[in-house]
Amino acid sequence: MKDEPMDKEDILKKLSEIHKQDYDYVDGRILGSMCTQAHPFAKEVYCKFLDTNLGDPGLFKGTKYLEDEVVRSIGNLLSLDEAYGNIVTGGTEANIMAVRAARNHARKYKGIVDGELIIPCSAHFSFKKAADMLNLKIVEVNLDENYKMDVESVKRLISDKTVAIVAIAGTTELGLIDPIEEISKIAHENNIYFHVDAAFGGFSIPFLRDAGYDLPVFDFSLEGVCSITVDPHKMGLAPIPAGGIIFRKEEYLQVMAVDSPYLTVKTQSTIVGTRIGAASAATYAIINYFGKKGYSQLAQELMDNTYYLKEGLQEIGYEIVCEPELNLLAFNHPNIKPRDFAEKLEKLGWNVSVAKCPIEAIRVVLMNHIKKRHIKELLEDLKEIY
């Protein structure tokens, strides 16, 4: 901080120069991100609600209503008539909340103290954060030949210390959907909390299924599912930060509640206290603006782009790791290691990421900012490298 105030124009000029160091979604060169540019309408609404705080909802009753409506709408999308939950910063916070609810529920009703958390080795790293924060032991499930959770492995790993099982609907590295229906049955039969991390797939799988895509059921229509993470700031096109955590029962929020005596509510269940209401307002606006029809069209366009890239890669001679289920494609050069290949692409201005689990591969997420013209440019560069 300088001693003297700076002129506003000078600050803006400096910020503009610094901002040039960032990649820009609109350029179509960010290929490894599960986030994308927010819709202009969502940004407009977000700014109108910047000063709202859902940590003290009695002061912002209108904004709290919007959060409740968003939770209800997402719950309905996921086959839940009456939903409970919150709009939070993202998938990480949502997953931590789910694990905390499971741990507290197991402590209260089962007396489990030193709990274990069963997750696939393909799970997002947020679960390692959750286990570290909540003093839980992680038990990793093997993957089958299709890079999905091995159901028999899940059965073997259940113990009297298991507080929760986690499965993924749209894995971070390969975009695959675990056998959630089978795992839900196992969790329900063993009276174990079951959480589905659908941060990536939650805003596309329902629409793709309705459009006729052969994708598995992953939602609350499965009686074993207790909570689901869904991120509106991914395929929902809401601004960052806008993650979502949806619970089947209110008691899962209640077992996390702590007293908040000086606020306008008696208790608080979220991890953070101060919570910006702008994310809820912007999400409310954009999901009503798009509706199911708009999101269905978007999801299908992204899948069309995914298949277009897949076919182009195969024509050149690249190796596809697995058949894409969602708008994420993993591939490899037959002779160049993924990390070396990623460096070559970066020198050409393409920002990709390298999947690690269960196999190293170049990972491209076909988000809304990647248009067909960008894919054509990428394929041309890939021909040159090949």
Taking only the tens place, the pLDDT of each residue in 291-306 is: 999 999 999 999 999 9
Per-residue pLDDT, 262: 84
More confident residue, 338 or 263: 338
CB 70 within 8 A of CB 244: yes
The fraction of the chain above a pLDDT of 70, given in percent, is 100
CB 366 within 8 A of CB 35: no
pLDDT at 359 over 90: no
CB 246 within 8 A of CB 78: yes
Taking only the tens place, the pLDDT of each residue in 210-225 is: 999 999 999 999 999 9
pLDDT at 4 over 90: no
Per-residue pLDDT, 268: 87
Token pair listed for 81: 């008539």
9 contacts: CB under 8 Å, gap ≥ 6: none
Taking only the tens place, the pLDDT of each residue in 282-291 is: 999 999 999 9
- What is d(CA 169, CA 216) in angstroms, rounded to the nearest whole number? 9
**Residue 131 is inside which H or E element, if any?**
helix 126-134
Taking only the tens place, the pLDDT of each residue in 142-161 is: 999 999 999 999 999 999 99
Give mean pLDDT, residues 192-212.
97
- Give me the DSSP letters along 10-73: HHHHHHHHHHTTS--GGGT-B-S-S--PPPHHHHHHHHHTTT-BTTSGGG-HHHHHHHHHHHHH
Edge to edge, the sheet with strand 361-365 lists: 319-320, 328-332, 361-365, 353-355
Per-residue pLDDT, 3: 83
- What is d(CA 305, CA 311) in angstroms, rounded to the nearest whole number? 10
Taking only the tens place, the pLDDT of each residue in 84-128 is: 999 999 999 999 999 999 999 999 999 999 999 999 999 999 999
Per-residue pLDDT, 140: 97
Cα–Cα distances in Å, from 335 out to 4, 33, 220, 383?
58, 25, 44, 14
**Residue 246 is inside which H or E element, if any?**
strand 243-247
- Name the band, by pLDDT with cuts 50, 70 and 90, for residue 263: confident
102 contacts: CB under 8 Å, gap ≥ 6: 117, 163, 164, 193, 195, 226, 227, 252
Taking only the tens place, the pLDDT of each residue in 38-92 is: 999 999 999 999 999 999 999 999 999 999 999 999 999 999 999 999 999 999 9
Greatest alpha-carbon span in the chain: 67
- pTM passes above 0.85: yes
pLDDT at 2 over 90: no
- What is d(CA 276, CA 87) in angstroms, rounded to the nearest whole number? 10
- What is d(CA 315, CA 94) in angstroms, rounded to the nearest whole number? 40
